[in-house]
């Protein structure tokens, strides 16, 4: 048995909970060394049941999150490589369009106020299920009203409130930036000051908090903006992804806001639980591992690649040619020699497979908890992040840029940066059999690359060069 977390003969509430959790997790390990099987069918049944029959009454607390329930379900299907049939797609579109608010944006359900989070989940669901043309959803999104509603939420410190009279937090900003990028409504006015706000949310630990508090001296925003709340996995993902999205527009002068990537990386790697916790991720220092952080923290490492922080030595990186096929892609042997990520990808996959799967289908925080729609989606996305290496490719960016029709500027940058992310062929590592493989997702949007390209090409009125079909491993 791996070493328990040392408690220095000084037990407290935190360490008691920690030790109990370690015991529970260790009990999950099948004695024969097996158990590393992704039960795709059981999860599909769980998802289909929610989609077709509906969510049981305990989901009533998520009545204001109907777009999320839709997105989690559709995205889990996509990652599990399941296409939705045309009838259900149309029903999805019709349902989603009932959430659009007459004054712009989408609400948590019909007749609910527009909300940044609901708008993200609605638009991303439409990226999966929608299409151009009448009844297709895409062309029925009122982008003009959406944009002016976004501007109405903007605060003097560069942040946004999540809804009329709502709170400020980095989740909302992430959601806004994703939608603005997908739908081609990014403008310099929209994002003015936002990068500085994001940077101000980094805490002394290295991760990011939910928000910061503006501090004005003589009507000028001061540099001191205390963070509200400690470093947290979910907020860190949202802040980092926002930062990566905003980076092309940040001027390169001395006053430019900065993020400390060294400290951020240190914090991220320390969120991985040790062997006794099966290598799952936690969301805060001294808290417990939880399956959803497989995506929020596990997925953040790909984003760091965009900031030049990579486990791949520089000599072997960013070669503009296709990388040579590497040995050990699927073979279990030789894994350690080719794995060049900054976290333990194998252990994270094992956590999801051994502890994250509920025996009755669906995925979860940790045993003995129930499965739910949220954890199902983010455990599967996290599994995807642990299996694949998706990073920005300068070569691919150049190709996208070469076929860009129109002026240079914010639009061209938004389009080519977002679509420069490419799955590195031959760099995936799948724990267990090849049948455990799930689709790669776009690290910024948590949509498949195909869905991202489809919706962006439509709204930017551009074509995307055909990606070379992946070599079979």
Partner 1 sequence: MSAPTADDTTEHVFYAERPEWADVVPVVQYENIQPLAPIFYSPEYKDATDYFRGVVKIGEKSLRVLQLTETIIRLNPAHYSAWQYRYETLIAISAPLQPELVLSNTLTKASPKTYQVWHHRRLLLTALGDPAPELAFNEEVLKADAKNYHTWSHRQWLLAHFDQENLWADELPFIDGLLEDDVRNNSAWHHRFFVSFERGSNDDKDEAEAIVKRELAFAKEKIALAPNNSSAWNYLRGILDHSRVPYSTQAIFARQYIVDTVEPRGNDILDLENPPPSEGAELPCAAAIEFMADVHEASGNEGISEAVELWRSLADTHDTIRKRYWEYRIRNAVATTGKA
- Looking up tokens 């509920």 gives 358
Q: Which residues are CB-contacts of 62 (< 8 A; sequence separation ≥ 6)?
A: 55, 68, 69
**Strand boundaries in 270-353, DSSP class E:** none
Q: How many residues bind partner 1 (CB under 8 A)?
A: 87
Position among 290, 305, 372, 423 found at the interface with Zn ion (CB under 5 A): 290
205 lies in the binding site for partner 1 (CB under 8 A): yes
* Residue among 191, 173, 78, 147 at smallest CA distance from 454: 78
Residue 376 vs 420, nearer CB to Zn ion? 376
Q: Which stretch binds Zn ion (CB under 5 A): 148-156, 252-260, 283-291, 314-322?
A: 283-291
* Least distance CB 294 / partner 1 (angstroms): 14
User: Please, which residue, 343 or 378, has the CB nearer to partner 1?
Assistant: 343
Shortest spacing between CB 365 and Zn ion, in angstroms: 4
Indicate which residue of 293, 374, 378, 460 is catalytic: 293
With CB cut-offs between 5 and 8 Å by kind, which of Zn ion, partner 1, none does residue 420 bind? none
Integer Cα distance of 418 and 413 in angstroms: 8
Query: b/e map of 206-227 (b: 16 or more CB within 10 Å)?
Result: bbbbbbbebeeeeeebeeebeb
Q: Is 81 in the site for partner 1 (CB under 8 A)?
A: no
When CB distances are held under 5 to 8 angstroms depending on the partner's kind, the choice from partner 1, Zn ion, none that residue 311 binds is partner 1
**Angle formed by the axes of helices 373-387 and 66-79, to 10°?**
40
**Nearer CB in complex with Zn ion: 365/453:** 365
Question: Which residue lies nearer to partner 1 by CB, 275 or 424?
Answer: 275
Q: Is 293 a catalytic residue?
A: yes
Q: Which of 213, 247, 215, 210 is nearest to 230 (CA)?
A: 210
Does residue 8 interact with partner 1 by CB under 8 A? yes
- The answer to whether 448 and 467 have CB atoms below 8 angstroms apart is no
| Among the listed residues 274, 322, 329, 450, the single contact to partner 1 using CB under 8 A | 274
Name the catalytic one among 150, 365, 366, 451.
365
Number of residues that bind Zn ion (CB under 5 A): 3
Asked whether position 236 contacts partner 1 by CB under 8 A, the answer is no
Asked whether the beta carbons of 108 and 61 are under 8 A apart, the reply is: no
What is the pattern of x (binds partner 1, CB under 8 A) and - over residues 254-273? ---------x-x---xx-xx
Told to judge if 254 belongs to the known catalytic residues of this protein, a careful annotator would answer: no
Catalytic residue among 36, 287, 326, 467: 287
- Cα-Cα end-to-end distance for the chain: 35
Which two tokens mark 96? 């989603």
DSSP states along 378-441 = HHHHHHHHHH--EEE-HHHHHHHHHT--S--SHHHHHHHHHTTEEEPTT----SSSGGG-----
Q: What is the dihedral of CA 193, 232, 226, 186, to 10 degrees?
A: 10
**CA-CA distance, 94 to 110, in Å (whole number)?**
11
Work out the angle at residue 74's Cα, subtended by the Cα atoms of residues 393 and 57, and round it to the nearest 5 degrees: 145
Q: Does 341 bind partner 1 (CB under 8 A)?
A: yes
CB of 196 to partner 1, least distance (A): 16
Q: Among 156-164, 212-220, 262-270, 289-297, which window interacts with Zn ion (CB under 5 A)?
A: 289-297
Choosing among partner 1, Zn ion, none, which partner's interface includes residue 107 (Cβ < 5 to 8 Å by kind)?
Answer: partner 1
Window 148-187: residues binding partner 1 (CB under 8 A): 163-167
Q: What stretches of 168-271 adopt beta strand conformation (E)?
A: 211-212, 216-217, 220-221, 227-228
Tell me the per-residue interface mask from 297 to 316 with partner 1, x by CB under 8 A, - otherwise.
Answer: --------------x-xx--
Q: Which of 205, 365, 417, 453 is the binder for Zn ion (CB under 5 A)?
A: 365
User: Which listed residue (1, 60, 83, 434) binds partner 1 by CB under 8 A?
Assistant: 60
Question: Is 218 annotated as catalytic?
Answer: no
Under the binding rule (CB under 8 A), the answer on residue 56 touching partner 1 is yes
When CB distances are held under 5 to 8 angstroms depending on the partner's kind, the choice from Zn ion, partner 1, none that residue 227 binds is: partner 1
Best CA proximity match to 179, nearest among 266, 114, 258: 114
- Say which of 101, 232, 429, 458 is annotated catalytic: 232
Known catalytic residue: 290? yes
Would you name the residues annotated as active-site residues?
Answer: 232, 284, 287, 290, 292-293, 365, 372, 375
């Amino acid at each position: 048995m791996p070493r328990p977390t040392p408690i220095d003969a000084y037990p407290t509430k935190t360490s008691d909970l920690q030790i109990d959790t370690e015991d529970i997790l260790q009990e999950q390990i099948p004695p024969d060394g097996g158990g590393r099987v992704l039960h795709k069918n059981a999860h599909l049944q769980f998802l289909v049941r929610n989609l077709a029959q509906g969510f049981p009454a305990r989901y009533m607390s998520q009545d204001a999150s109907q777009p999320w329930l839709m997105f989690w379900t559709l995205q889990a299907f996509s990652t599990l490589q399941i296409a939705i049939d045309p009838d259900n797609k149309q029903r999805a579109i019709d349902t989603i369009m009932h959430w659009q608010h007459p004054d712009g944006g989408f609400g948590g359900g019909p007749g609910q106020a527009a909300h940044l989070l609901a708008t993200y989940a609605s638009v991303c669901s439409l990226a999966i299920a929608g299409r151009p043309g009448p009844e297709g959803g895409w062309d029925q999104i009122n982008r003009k009203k959406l944009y002016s509603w976004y501007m109405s939420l903007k605060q003097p410190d560069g942040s946004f409130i999540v809804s009329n009279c709502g709170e400020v937090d980095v989740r909302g900003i992430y959601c806004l930036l994703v939608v603005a990028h997908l739908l081609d409504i990014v403008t310099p006015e929209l994002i003015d000051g936002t990068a500085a706000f994001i940077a101000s949310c980094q805490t002394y630990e290295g991760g990011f908090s939910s928000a910061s508090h503006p501090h004005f001296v003589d009507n000028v925003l001061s540099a001191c903006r205390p963070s509200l709340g400690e470093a947290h996995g979910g907020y860190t993902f949202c802040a980092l992804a926002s930062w990566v999205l905003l980076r092309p527009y940040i001027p390169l002068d001395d006053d430019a806001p900065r993020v400390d990537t060294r400290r951020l990386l240190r914090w991220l790697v320390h969120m991985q639980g040790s062997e006794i916790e099966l290598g799952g991720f936690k969301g805060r220092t001294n808290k417990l591992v939880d399956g959803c952080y497989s995506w929020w923290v596990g997925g953040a490492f790909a984003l760091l690649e965009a900031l030049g922080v990579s486990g791949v030595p520089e000599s072997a990186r960013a070669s503009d040619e296709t990388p040579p096929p590497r040995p050990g892609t699927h073979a279990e042997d030789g894994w350690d020699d080719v794995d060049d990520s900054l976290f333990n990808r194998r252990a994270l996959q094992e956590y999801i497979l051994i502890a994250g799967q509920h025996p009755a289908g669906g995925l979860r925080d940790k045993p003995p908890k129930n499965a739910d729609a949220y954890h199902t989606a983010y455990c599967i996305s996290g599994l995807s992040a642990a299996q694949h290496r998706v990073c920005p490719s300068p070569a691919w960016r150049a190709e996208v840029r070469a076929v860009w029709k129109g002026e240079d500027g914010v639009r061209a940058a938004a389009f080519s940066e977002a679509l420069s992310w490419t799955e590195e062929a031959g760099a995936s590592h799948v724990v267990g059999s090849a049948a455990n493989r799930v689709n790669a997702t776009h690290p910024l949007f948590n949509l498949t690359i195909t869905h991202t390209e489809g919706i962006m090409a439509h709204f930017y009125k551009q074509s995307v060069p055909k990606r070379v079909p992946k070599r079979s491993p």
